[in-house]
Each structure stands twice: as C-alpha cells, then as structure tokens.
Amino acid sequence: MIEYIGIPFLKDGIDRNGLDCWRLVVMVYKERLGIDLPSFSGIFVDGSLASLRKVTRLMRENKEKWQSIEKPLPYDVILLRTGSMVYHCGVVIGRRKMLHVMEGINSSVEEFTSLMWKDKIEGFYRYVR
C-alpha cells in the first residue's frame, strides 16, 4: 500500500496528482482488486454544507451495495463521521489501520482505533458484487 501514501488531497480529484477520500477508495479497488466503483464525479467540489450533504446522501443511497460488517478485513471500507454527518471514508489495510486522505493531510495510514478516530466510526462495509 506504500504506493498510495503521500497523495495530496484535492476536492473531486481523480488521480495521483490529488484526490478526495472516496476517489482514493475507487483507485485502490480498481488497481488492487480490479473492481470499478462509481466515481461520483462532481459531488464533492467544495467544502460547503450543501456539498457535504450530497456526499452523505450518496453514501446512504449506495449502502445496499455494501454489507455492514463487525470485524473488518483488508479492503473493507470504513465510514467516518466528521461532526454530525458521515462523509469521510478510508480503506482498511490491516488490523486497526486505514488508508485515507482528507483536506490538509496527504494520504496516510492511521489507526482507526486512535483517539482521533475511534468515536467517529460509523461502520465498516464490505463490497457485495
């Protein structure tokens, strides 16, 4: 997973020059698993409340393609709350570790059980083909 570390955050970005958290998931799934996930282009174009609500709504609407799980495995997706809304995600890459990217932070690996994240976890999800 080292090739995914250090990618800059870019709202609605689509490649290694910059991407948002969902597009990082899309890239990992395509390159590592051969799975094409929808890119949802144009959804997260700014940090406005309206844009974040679109992201949250889209996540809710697409949950049927994902199975909620209790014990995550590598490549499962973690959804996280930031404030009152769920609009951040990452890829589980190992025991208690996730790969993610967010505004102000290049893509990195962090423990989702850390003080920063453990109370923000909405759930873990496995893609259902």
3-state secondary structure of 127: strand
In this model, does residue 91 exceed pLDDT 80? yes
Q: What pLDDT is stored for residue 66 in this prediction?
A: 86
Number of C-beta neighbours around residue 9 at 10 A: 19
Q: Compute the average pLDDT of residues 79-92.
A: 85
Q: What is the pLDDT of residues 10-40, one digit of tens each?
A: 988 889 999 999 899 999 999 999 999 887 7
Rounded to two decimals, what is the model's pTM? 0.87
pLDDT band of residue 83 (cuts 50, 70, 90) is confident
* Phi, psi angle pair for 61, to nearest 5°: -65, -25
Q: What pLDDT is stored for residue 37 in this prediction?
A: 87
Q: Which residues have CB under 8 Å from 61's CB, separation 6+?
A: none
Name the residue with higher pLDDT: 49 or 91: 91
Residue 69 bridge partners (DSSP): 124
Please report the domains of the chain, with CATH numbers, ordered by start residue: 2-127 (3.90.1720.10)
In this model, does residue 72 exceed pLDDT 90? yes
In this model, does residue 87 exceed pLDDT 90? no
Q: Compute the average pLDDT of residues 63-75.
A: 89
Q: What does each C-alpha distance from 114 to 38, 70, 73, 106, 128 come to in angstroms?
A: 30, 18, 18, 18, 28
